[in-house]
Amino acid sequence: MLSYRHAFHAGNHADVLKHWVQILLLTHLGHKDKPYWYIDTHAGAGAYALDSGYASKNAEFDTGIGRLWTRDDLPATLAEYVALVRQFNPDGALRAYPGSPMVAQRCLRPSDRMRLFELHSTDHGLLAGNFADAHRQVRVEHTDGFEGIKAVLPPPPRRALVLIDPPYEDKRDYARVVTSLKEALKRFATGCYAVWYPQLQRLESRDLPEKLKLLGVDWLHVSLSVQRPSDNGFGMHGSGMFVLNPPWTLPDTLNTALPYLVEVLGQDRGARYTLEWEIR
């Protein structure tokens, strides 16, 4: 199934959580001089226009990055995230939003590398075009990222962040996430893996974090619910990030801003966050 287009959802509350955590993980990797790789299994188009096309139809960014855009009381790490998005909007008006690959590129150093996988033909073409001038640092592959990462693990520097962010349109994606991580950990046990997932009223979504806790490595699970689940059982009421081999400092860093996100992005009294971890 290849009908999913992330452009419809660019900059929404789920992107805020995902890209905030992504920046924190890449910043941690950048603290050491040794190079690292960023590997994205479902890279999308790389960047999105918010004032036209798909993103403007539902304007989901209004309840995500739009709520942070003019705030002057942002916690430090959220201010860094918003500052990165501002690099794509130099005139101060919120018209563009970076996808995960563009977020990563702004964090990478010259010695670091990116490997991006995207199977959707249209998005792959857009992604390749967005990185046409970065061939030495970035390689874009037109393939299924679940399969593609097998060829790049372990990466040469033995340091990497792997982002796994499938659309979950096909419920089999949940099982594929678990299977792919089991195989990836055999190849590259010390890598940092970040999995984004939607909070939905379906068994596969609710069970995924519990299954990931059983993979035998240190983990952290953070979720942000912006509203109560709907009465009809449909729709996404929040999202989560599950990190394998997280930095030991990550829980405290997240704790400083999660209550703020609940207050600012929350849409009703069902807004809340969870944060749990096992870091030995």
Question: Domain coordinates of the chain in residue numbers?
Answer: 6-278
Compute the average pLDDT of residues 249-254. 98
266 φ/ψ angles, rounded to the nearest 5 degrees: -65, 140
Is the pLDDT at 219 greater than 80? The verdict is: yes
| pLDDT at residue 187 in the model | 97
Which residues form the catalytic set?
165
Q: What is the pLDDT of residue 26?
A: 98
Angle between helices 13-29 and 100-107 (to 10 degrees): 30
pLDDT mean across residues, the chain = 93
**Top-tier CATH class for 6-278:** alpha beta
* Confidence tier at 6 by pLDDT (50, 70, 90): low
Q: What is the mean pLDDT of residues 79-92?
A: 97
Measured torsion, CA atoms of residues 213, 4, 126, 57, in degrees rounded to the nearest 10: -120
Residue 118's nearest CA partner among 153, 146, 154 is 146
Residue 172 gets which letter from DSSP? H
Q: pTM of whole model > 0.85?
A: yes
Q: What is the mean pLDDT of residues 121-144?
A: 90
The verdict on whether omega for the bond into residue 98 sits within 30 degrees of 0, i.e. cis, is: no
The pLDDT score that the predictor gives to residue 230 is 86
The CB-side HSE value for 141 (13 A sphere, CA atoms) comes to 18
Q: Is a pLDDT exceeding 50 seen at residue 1?
A: no
Query: CA 64, CA 85: separation in Å to the nearest integer?
Result: 12
7 has a pLDDT exceeding 50: yes
Compute the average pLDDT of residues 193-209.
96
| pLDDT computed for residue 9 by the predictor | 86
Instruction: Report d(CA 103, CA 163) in Å as an integer.
Output: 12
Query: In which band, very low, low, confident or very high, does the pLDDT at 76 lie, cut at 50, 70 and 90?
Result: very high
Does residue 111 have a pLDDT over 80? Answer: yes
Rounded mean pLDDT, 14-18: 97
pLDDT in tens, 142-185: 999 999 999 999 999 999 999 999 999 899 999 999 999 999 99
Q: Alpha-carbon Rg of the chain, whole angstroms?
A: 17
pLDDT of residue 3: 46
Q: What is the average pLDDT across 21-45?
A: 97
Query: Residue 255 is encoded by which pair of tokens?
Result: 């704790």
Q: Work out the pLDDT band at 234, boundaries 50, 70, 90.
A: confident
